[in-house]
Amino acid sequence: MKILRTVLWILGALGFLIFAIYNWQPVELTLWQNLVLETKVPVLALLAFAAGFLPMWALHRSVVWGLQRRIRALETSLKNTAMARQREAETPTMLPVDSAVEKSGKTAGETADPLSPADSGLDGGSGK
């Protein structure tokens, strides 16, 4: 595609060069009553081309810039959503437990007496 674009630019430049060679004549352009611009025909053609091309090129670049910003924002949003879903899948979910909370006893299999104090150590809680 780049080669085609290059060929078209070369053909356009060659066409303009041929036009400039055969039309290299002075032209008087009256800007105001006492202000006259004397220039060559190819310069006027180049100015007319630039006057039409530059605003459309600026509009095109602004649209491309806006669309690229939108694409970047959508890609970032998609990435953030995917990362959140991945974190959500990695995090284990807490399943509801059917049994009541176990009361810690003195040994692993022994349950504590419900009427005894919760902090029943071997010293009897005397702090010695």
Q: Which residue has the tokens 């694409």?
A: 71
pLDDT of residue 17: 96
Task: With both helix axes pointing from N to C terminus, report the angle between 41-90 and 2-22 in degrees, rounded to the nearest 10.
Answer: 160
Q: Is 97 helix (H, G, I), strand (E, B) or coil?
A: coil
Cβ atoms 20, 43 nearer than 8 A = no
Per the confidence metrics, is the pTM higher than 0.75?
A: no
Angle at 71 between CA 69 and CA 74, to 5 degrees: 110
Q: Residue 111 is encoded by which pair of tokens?
A: 């349950």
Distance CA 26, CA 33 (A): 19
Question: Residue 37 forms beta bridges with which residues?
Answer: 29
User: What is the reported pLDDT for 106?
Assistant: 55
Q: In the prediction, which pLDDT does 61 show?
A: 98
pLDDT tens sequence for the chain (128 residues): 999 999 999 999 999 999 999 999 999 999 988 999 999 999 999 999 999 999 999 999 999 999 999 999 999 999 999 999 998 888 766 666 666 555 555 555 566 666 666 655 555 555 55
Tokens of residue 81, six digits: 């959503």
H-helix or E-strand spanning residue 26: strand 26-30
Consecutive H or E run containing 39: strand 36-40
DSSP single-letter state for residue 103: P
